[in-house]
Structure formats: structure tokens, C-alpha cells
A and B are shown apart, each in its own frame.
Chain A
């Protein structure tokens, strides 16, 4: 496994912490002595747009971008974004760790046929979460659809839902648990450390209890 190139694609909506998740995962890979490259997008895409971060690590990495359909893992904070990115990055063996929630901007219903207002609306929001979940279930063997928002609320803070998903992802990696914990601590404000560690361990336990289960 050591020499293999690991391609992790993180996706979600601007403001959900995609860049932060990328920093945590890449620091963990770096601290475990791998060659690593990542690619983020800042600026315009941060404001509620569709956002992705590419992470690649292994013995020697050239391209910071993951070649098409070569994601080993897709980590997604929004189920609609999962659906958006599988076409370009997934293959049948891709491990998909995705929130089972998705957000639809409410104005899109009214504007679904809006071609005016310089509207470059490229979707109509007609599909719902359960149809996407069904689609994913029939096509991906290694699918983990997670009620991350619910689990985060149980912990008392909805904002740590992405750390829970990182906890699940950590189980699939060859990077030691202690390194993951260190990488999280270094990327978050000190006062939220306890909550974030708890969230990570919640995800990690979830992985350990469901390792071989296919969802």
C-alpha cells in the first residue's frame, strides 16, 4: 500500500470546510512521511459554489490534480455534490464517504426554467436525496452514506459533521491514528479541540464497527 498513490477527492459547498478538511488530511499524509500534493480553490468558488480539493499522496507525486475516474476515496459533505463529482472522478472501486444530507437553494424551485437574468442555471433541483442515495447504492460497492448532521447534533455541534466524516476516512488510510489526531489539533482553534477530537473518534468508531458492512 505504501508505494501506491492515494487519490482523495473532497467535495462540498463553499463554506462547509472543504479547504480545512484538505489541510487536515494533507498534513496527516505529510507527517507520515509521504510525498504529497494538494490542490484547492479559493475566491469565487467559496461563496456557496460547488467546491473540491484534490489530495494525492504516495512515493512520488507529479500532478496535484487527480486524473479522471481515479479517485480512491471521495469524501463529500453534500449528497448532491457526491452525485456531481462521481462522473468525473469515481470508478467502481472508489470508496465513497458521503453525507446523506444535501442542500438545495430555495430560489432554484421558482427559477427552474429561468433563462433570463443572465441565468446560467445548469440544474433544476428536481432530484431529491433519496433518489441519489438509491442511485449510489446500486452502483457503488464501497459506499458509506452517513447521517453526519445527525451524529454531529448528538455530539452537540452541527459544525463538526465534516470531522466525523474525516474520522471514517481515517480508517481506510494507512496513516496512524495519532498522526490524524495531531493533524486535527494543528488545524483548529484550541478551544474547539475537545469537540473536534470527539467528532473524529465518533467517525473512527463508526468505521471500526462497520468496516466490512456494505451500505
Chain B
């Protein structure tokens, strides 16, 4: 993401701006005077911290993982500063240990936790509903439904946090974080870079040392706090009833509110913006005044269960799916089923274009598949191609390289959680269920995030597998964020001097068999991996080519071509390089289709190594 010209995206004549949800959250945090912000990149939350850093008014940094990021925010709060922690939904699992106890200690400076959920799993391994964390931890939650609310609610969240002595969850979803809409009177970035002096540190062990004798009291306070928060939920005006039809009423929150307004603007609405704890009095009033009420919410029946526990039985999940994203259309179908509108003949079943698909059969089935693929020149490509040839079990991890699991590379066998690979490789090795040695594979940022501990564990337990670290010197999948291995960060460390060396960490563990390879040399890559996987030791293979996209787009200046006479065996196609495409049949009438390499080639030369018949060569100009 480029934000270099971002002040230009503000309308010069008006005090409105067109912002993504994530940009609006950063702007709201700035308005609230946030002092320290930390997080670990994860779609769809990744753009919040870089945008906040542009304001130069707070210390904003990437952390090694989500747990550390929340702990930094907690320390800042203990030091009387306002702090924020940003994460994607699954990252809050990593930070849930400090979260659950922070929830009872309370805090000093306001502390806001932004969790960006991913219903529909656009770029995630699950679609857990983090609203449940608010209930689990007994802390309040705000759910914005557009960028304007992202801005206002983030600013309000800090006030609520301090007023009620509690961390506050601001929960967005992909469609909130990555949608643009108009924000009125946002704060314009570019203020002076100041770190405001604050209050002096004082101890308070009864509040922050959660040994049983103190923790018991704090838990009582947290339970009592829920009562005050319920009053706030009813009376603050954040939760609103919009009266309209007295026959049809909808209780909803987040993006579902926008879909419902689109489809049933005539209905009355109870919009839950402060959705935990729910406003019991408002709900009773709404249900008492409206004849038919349904609940529209994405994922879990969270609001539905809360309302049910008030003794009010309303329907919701009976009409709207519990998995995936809602859309205006699924909301329309559900509302039709609930008797709110007549069957939406207008859209389903694709009245206008149905015949196109009926005539020549379903053309969708004949379209080329568009599985996400590794980039042209991606340094991960050769490693996966070699692993495929070596036919070993590969415990995988989360990052761009997860794409190595998909065809045509198909060389990774698991993707479950960040840092899983080396733990799972240890476990799988122990089973001796494969005659071949197990490999575990992860990227550099993932290794720092949670791979170090499991590699130490493998050494400690003396378990043999081959740990592969694809070091491309960035956090690529989420847009190229820095990490300890790059030595740079958003606010601090603007030089490479504090770079942390992965190889030295591993040497420090006492693992002696470490190979460093250039993955652009496929033959060498294959040879080294084969050797490492035939060795009986716990060993490590580290690749050393930078990402071709981040921090800047690389082009090695070489171009390759498929030579005349190529028999079209498609071997080169099996590395899945996006620059190698099937030639158009129309351009070779009657002739054999041979692959061709287009101008997007960045010159990594892997395909040249793969083509054992030497029909790929560098273009000499």
C-alpha cells in the first residue's frame, strides 16, 4: 500500500475524506491522542498501523507477534499512556493470554484492541467470530458499520476504556476494514511529531499483580463493571433505535446493518454499535413496539444468544447462514423467508443471464482456474518444486508460501496456525508414519512470530526433521511489513543496524547442520534439500533471496523465452510461474500449443533450470 500521497486523497474543498475503514481507525486513534500502538500484520488489519505512523504523533511499531504487541500496549497503559493493539481475528488467539487477565486488572491509560475478522475467509485459515472474546473476557465491544463509524468509535473507545477501567474491543470485518466510505471532519495527518510527557510511574500491586489474593478482588470488580457497561449500552446513545414500520423490525450490527438498510429501508432498526454488553432495556422496548423482529448478524448467533438469555426468543440464524459472509442478496433471501418481503424474484435465479449459461453448458466450469499463485520470480518456487520431487511429508505454515500447497506445486501438507510447522514436524516425525524424513517449512516473519520456540523444543527433545526457513526479508503476504530480521520498523529503528540474524539464533540453539541456499539456483536447491532430508540430524535450510515485491519490486533485467522446437511437454508450466502462460490457440491455428513467457518475467531463471531439454533460454539483446 502506498500512502505517500495520502493527504491528496482528501477533498480539498470540504472537510470530508474518502477513507478505508482501516485508515479511519488510525485517524480516530490519532484524534484520541493515542501514544503507543503495536501489532502484528494480518489481513484485513494490516493497514491501520502504517497509516497511524504517518501522523508522526505516536510511537507505532510492528511487534514480533500479537502477544508481545498486546503486552507492549499493557505496559504503556500502566505508564498512564493511551495505547492500541491491532490484529486480525486469529491473532487475538495468540494474545488471548494477556487479554484474559488484563480484562480483570483493568488499566490506566485507555487501551483499545482492534480485531479485524475475516468472514468468508478471503485471506485466513478460519472465520472465528471474535465478538465471543468480548463476552469471554467480560469487556465492552464496539462494532462500526462504515468508515465514518470506524473514526468516531475508535476515538470513543479510548474514552470508554478509561471511564470504565477496561480494555475495549473494536471489532471490524474485511468489508469494514477494506471498504472506502466518506468520513466527516476527520483529522488530517501531518501534525508535529511530539511525544507528550505524562504522569510519573507509580506502583499498584493490588491492581496489576494478579496473584490469587488480588485477582479474586479484581474479578469481582470486572463482574460489577458489566453492570455499569450495560447501563452505558442502554443510555449512551451509541446504540440507537430508528423507528419506521411498526410491523417489521431488525436488530443488527456491523456491516449487516448496511445490507439490511439497503434491502429493507422501510423496517425499524435497533442498530447495535456497542454490541457487548447488549442494551437490555432498548431491546425490550424495541421488541415491545414492533410486531415482527428478526436479528441479522454475520457468523455466530452472538446477539441472538444474548437476547435469548434475556428471556426473549427471536429468530435470526433460522434465516441467515452461520458461515461465510452475508451479502445484500443473502440478507434479501433471509428477509423474504422471514416474511419481511416477497420472494426476491428480481435477482434469484439470475433471471437476466441464466440463458447464457444454459446454452453452451455452464461456462463457469470451462473458465481457467484462478488459484492464487506465487509471483513471477518468487524465491519460494524452486523450494516447493524440489520438495514435490523429493516426495517428503511437509508440515507447512501461514504466509505467501501457503500457496505452495496448491496446484501445480502441491508440496505442502498443512496450514493450521502461525508457527505450526516445526511443532507439527516434530510430532509427525515421532509417529514414524512416513518412511521419509519430515520437513517443516515457514517464512522468516513466521519464524520470528512463533517458530523459534518450536525449533528450540525440537533440539531440546532431540527430534530429527528438516526445518526450512524461506527468508525473503519481509512479511510478504500482508503487504511487506518489517520484522526483527529486517531491523526496520514504523516509528523506531529507521536503519538496518538492529537486524536480527536468523542463522545466529539457530546456531545459538546448538543446531550445527545449517545450510544457506540461493533458491534461484534450482539444481543447487534440489541437491541441498536432498542432502538435508537424507541426513539423520535435526537440520535447517535457509533461503536467502529477497521477495520480488517488497520492500521494492525487483526485476533482474533478464528475460527468458521458449525456443523454437519446444515439444510442449509443459514441464516448465509445473512451477506455476504466472509469467509462463499457455499460448492462445488462435495464434497457433492447428499447431501445438507451447508455453510462452510473457513480459512480466523478472529474470529469476528457475524455468531455465527446470527445462531439462534446454528449450528455455535468456533473450540476448
Contact = CB atoms under 8 A, between A and B. Distances in A.
A7 B258 CA distance: 16
Contact of A124 (B327, B360, B366): B366
A64 B258 contact: yes
Contacts of B347: 67-70
A189 B308 CA distance: 54
B580 interface: yes
Interface string B306-336: 0000000000000000000001110010000
A107 B327 CA distance: 33
A26 interface: yes
A164 interface: no
Nearest to A39: B179
A123 B366 contact: yes
B356 A139 contact: yes
Given A40-B179, A45-B123, A105-B581, A92 B373 contact: no
B371 A84 contact: no
B603 interface: no
B114 to A, nearest CB: 16
Give the size category of A's interface with B.
35 or more
Contacts of B406: 117-120
Interface string B14-31: 000010100000000000
Interface in A37-69: 37-50, 61-69
Given A27-B9, A37-B146, A48-B578, A121 B259 contact: no
Contacts, number: 237
Contacts of B375: 15, 47-48
Contacts of B595: 106
Interface string B571-584: 01110101011101
A45 B477 CA distance: 10
Nearest to B586: A130
A63 B265 CA distance: 12
A119 B410 contact: yes
A204 to B, nearest CB: 22
B44 interface: yes
A114 B407 contact: yes
B368 interface: yes
Interface in B344-360: 347-348, 350-353, 355-357, 359-360
B400 A123 contact: no
A86 interface: yes
B365 to A, nearest CB: 6
B586 A40 contact: no
Contacts of B204: none
Contact of B573 (A110, A120, A131): A110
Given A68-B329, A103-B368, A117-B410, 9 more contacts: A62-B258, A69-B347, A80-B367, A84-B364, A91-B352, A106-B570, A109-B593, A116-B410, A135-B359
- Interface pairs A-B: 5 shortest CB-CB: A43-B123, A117-B410, A43-B43, A106-B573, A44-B123
14 contacts: A38-B181, A39-B178, A41-B178, A44-B123, A50-B370, A65-B327, A84-B364, A86-B353, A105-B370, A105-B576, A109-B570, A125-B369, A127-B366, A135-B360
